Amino acid sequence: MAQTDQTAHDAGNARDDDVVALLMRQHGDIRNLFDEVERTSGDERREAFRSLVRLLAVHETAEQEVVHPYAGRLFDGAKDMVADRLAEEKAAKEMLAELDGMDPEDPGFMPRLRELRTDVQRHARAEERYEFLQLRRRADPEKLASMAKAVRAAESMAPTRPHPGVQGAAANMAAGPVAALMDRTRDAVRKAMGKKG
Amino acid sequence: MAFNPLEQRGIPLDRQRRNWRELSVMPIDPDRCDPYTRCRIITMNGIEVEAILFSHQFARHCPDMDVKRQLAEVRYIEAQQQKAVNWLLPGVSSVLETTIGYEQVAVDLTAWVARMEPDPYLKQAYQFGVLEDFDHLYRYANLYEMIEHRKAEEIVDNLTEVMPGRPTPLHHRDPMDNVRDPYDRQTASPLSKLHALTIMSAEQQTMNFYMNVGPTYMEPIARDLYQEIGLIEEEHVTHYESLVDPGETWWEQLVHHEYNECYLYHSFMEQESDPRIKRIWELHLNMELEHLHLACDLMRRHDGRDPEQVLAPELPNVLTFEPNKQYLRELIADQLDLTTLGTGYVREAHERFERMQQQLNGDGKAPSDQVLDRHREMFGREYRLQTEGEHPVPALREQ
């Protein structure tokens, strides 16, 4: 688990000028956090789950604000392709909100979490294969870079990996429920996009 | 527990065809499966692919219409077996995840075969090859973390170490130095023949996989790395296929193929941890017993020889997927600087090797080195998984 932290931490050093590369790495970070929740217990699990909620909320919101609207205009039928992804995200968001209201030590928590994990993983691969591929094919590098900026703005508003010791479980809890976090992320992204014109 | 497949009868051929419902297998869960279950799936896919390709080649050289038809009958079943096996791999896995599974197979399957091989020349061939696949695993693991932010330990699960082997750029040898001497079909142990066929098939499938999935990547570094390692897999197929005695008749080769499939399905049935997958190995074993029986009949009829003369009296010990960490560390310490010269091995870089190296690596770094540079740029370190301590070669320890 220490190594999982290390990957996300080192990732800070990685430059992401390309929104697709950035989002694909977030897919990996999300999967790493699922691992962490499954492998820990007690407060450690609660904290890992808070991190997972934050990252999922930030990631999905950024995709909905930045990536899907653009991808939906890229080619004939793109709207329908995006609609499929949005439906998956909506279902995941509902399951996430449900889990968010549960205690991670509740016996019903892990089975539900695994369901969410499976759905999120399928959704992520579908994005990579059907949506991101089109983005790379059709969007110019500048557009990919400006979208990456907006996604990073979302990340910075709701840091997904508070440095251990700097922010603990309390800070994580202060992030509040899923819906509020998504709202704040949306505002941050829109602000970043607005600046870009 | 002696098991002689020649004395068993399997499922009659006319009852082996499967419908769509039977072919529609449920894939394994990549986050929860036994990594060696994935390894067994990848291995058996390679074995079935070889069965199909070999049978096609045989048919193209066979003027006898009845034999052609029987080959087609059995081959269709093998094609269904290949589908049922390979479709156990999940669609949610990325190509790179599957690739790391392929390299785990190459490392732990080849290491096990090297340990068990009775013939010293053949053993050396496996020891030589495994150190290259070991290094491929390390290079792909670095690419995986760059692209997907995941660590290869989530795939290999601490069963296989991930660290430098013989450096990949040095795998590019003059093709003529990739051809080995064959075993002698009259004197070789039956186990040696099974080993050669198994490793040749696994490497051939790896070659096929990389040559086809490589260009599906968008990232230039990924495309380049698959191209480089894909070329090395071709060298490995040359290396391993040349171990097989070309004097074996087509009939004899067919019998060896079918016998080997019985051996491997039996082995994997014995050790499989997932009961659902174990039932598939068992079903396929029962199909293969019949394929073997038919192949033996062909050999008796057309070769005028008894298959018992060329086969083992009973199945050899179960071929096992298990960690080979210490064995690999010893090989790394002893054999990292080997290359091939003619059909032998040397420690010094000879003229032909140097020329090939100059042609391939003389104008800019190989992709396998670029991937490490890029990884260090991104993360300030390499990706390694060293569960048993420092790298055995001091020069290859991470600074």
Domain range annotation of chain B: 5-396
Nearest-CA neighbor of B67 among B347, B333, B295, B306?
Answer: B295
The overall average pLDDT reported for chain B is: 97
For A76, the domain range is 2-196
- Residues of A within 8 A of B151 (CB-CB) are 3-4, 7, 32
Please, which residues have CB within 8 angstroms of residue A108's CB and are 6 or more apart in sequence?
A: A102
B12 in A contact zone (CB under 8 Å): no
Q: In total, how many domains does chain A have? A: 1
Instruction: For the beta carbon of residue B322, count every other beta carbon within 10 angstroms.
Output: 12
In this complex, which of B29, B147, B151 lies closest to A3 when CB atoms are compared? B151
User: Are B31 and A24 within 8 A, CB to CB?
Assistant: no
User: Are B31 and A26 within 8 A, CB to CB?
Assistant: no
CB-neighbour burial class of residue B262 (10 A; exposed 0-12, middle 13-18, buried 19+) = buried
B154 in A contact zone (CB under 8 Å): yes
A50 in B contact zone (CB under 8 Å): no
Partner residues linked to B346 by β-bridges: B339
What does A65-95 look like in DSSP terms, one character per residue? IIIHHHHTTSSTTHHHHHHHHHHHHHHHHHH
pLDDT at B307 over 80: yes
Q: pLDDT tens digits for B171-197?
A: 999 999 999 999 999 999 999 999 999
User: For B225-240, what is the mean pLDDT?
Assistant: 98
| Residues A172/A159, Cβ–Cβ less than 8 Å | no
- Residues of B within 8 A of A28 (CB-CB) are 148-150
User: Are B148 and A29 within 8 A, CB to CB?
Assistant: no
User: For B33-51, what is the mean pLDDT?
Assistant: 98
User: Are B31 and A13 within 8 A, CB to CB?
Assistant: no
Amino acid at B253: Q
> What distance in Å separates the CA atoms of residue A27 and residue A8, rounded to the nearest whole number?
12
B313 in A contact zone (CB under 8 Å): no
User: Are B94 and A32 within 8 A, CB to CB?
Assistant: no
User: Are A11 and B150 within 8 A, CB to CB?
Assistant: no
Q: pLDDT tens digits for B109-130?
A: 999 999 999 999 999 999 999 9
The pLDDT assigned to A77 comes to: 86
Distance from CA of A51 to the nearest CA of B (A): 16
φ/ψ of B180, rounded to 5, equals: -95, 170
User: In terms of pTM, does the model score above 0.80?
Assistant: yes
User: Are A24 and B381 within 8 A, CB to CB?
Assistant: no
Distance from CA of A126 to the nearest CA of B (A): 9
Structure confidence at residue B170 as a pLDDT band (50, 70, 90): very high
CB-neighbour burial class of residue A137 (10 A; exposed 0-12, middle 13-18, buried 19+) = exposed
Distance from CA of B225 to the nearest CA of A (A): 18
What does B95-127 look like in DSSP terms, one character per residue? HHHHHHHHHHHHHHHHHHHHHH--SHHHHHHHH
Comparing alpha-carbon positions, the chain B residue that sits nearest to A127 is B92
Residues of chain A falling short of pLDDT 50: 1-5, 11-13, 162-174, 196-197
Cα separations (Å) of B11 from B16, B225, B287, B307?
A: 7, 44, 5, 20
Any idea how long chain A is?
Answer: 197
Instruction: Give me the helix-helix angle, B35-60 and B250-271, nearest 10°.
Output: 170
> What distance in Å separates the CA atoms of residue B386 and residue B389, rounded to the nearest whole number?
6
A125 in B contact zone (CB under 8 Å): yes
> What distance in Å separates the CA atoms of residue A108 and residue B238, rounded to the nearest whole number?
54
Instruction: For the beta carbon of residue A3, count every other beta carbon within 10 angstroms.
Output: 12
User: Are A28 and B94 within 8 A, CB to CB?
Assistant: no
The pLDDT assigned to A189 comes to: 85
Distance from CA of A35 to the nearest CA of B (A): 9
> What distance in Å separates the CA atoms of residue A71 and residue B207, rounded to the nearest whole number?
35
Which candidate in A125, A127, A130 is best for mutational testing of the B interface (most B CBs within 10 A)?
Answer: A125
Tokens for B33, please give them: 């499966």
Nearest-CA neighbor of B306 among B296, B294, B295?
Answer: B296
CA A114 to chain centre: 17
Please, which residues have CB within 8 angstroms of residue B381's CB and are 6 or more apart in sequence?
A: A10, B375, B398
Cα separations (Å) of A191 from A61, A66, A78, A154?
A: 14, 12, 26, 10
Count CB pairs under 8 A between chains A and B: 58
B145 in A contact zone (CB under 8 Å): yes
- Residues of A within 8 A of B147 (CB-CB) are 21, 24-25
The pLDDT assigned to A154 comes to: 85
Instruction: For the beta carbon of residue A12, count every other beta carbon within 10 angstroms.
Output: 9
A168 in B contact zone (CB under 8 Å): no
- Residues of B within 8 A of A136 (CB-CB) are 218
A138 in B contact zone (CB under 8 Å): no
CATH number assigned to the domain comprising residue A173: 1.20.120
In this complex, which of B94, B218, B379 lies closest to A10 when CB atoms are compared? B379
B8 in A contact zone (CB under 8 Å): no
A123 in B contact zone (CB under 8 Å): no
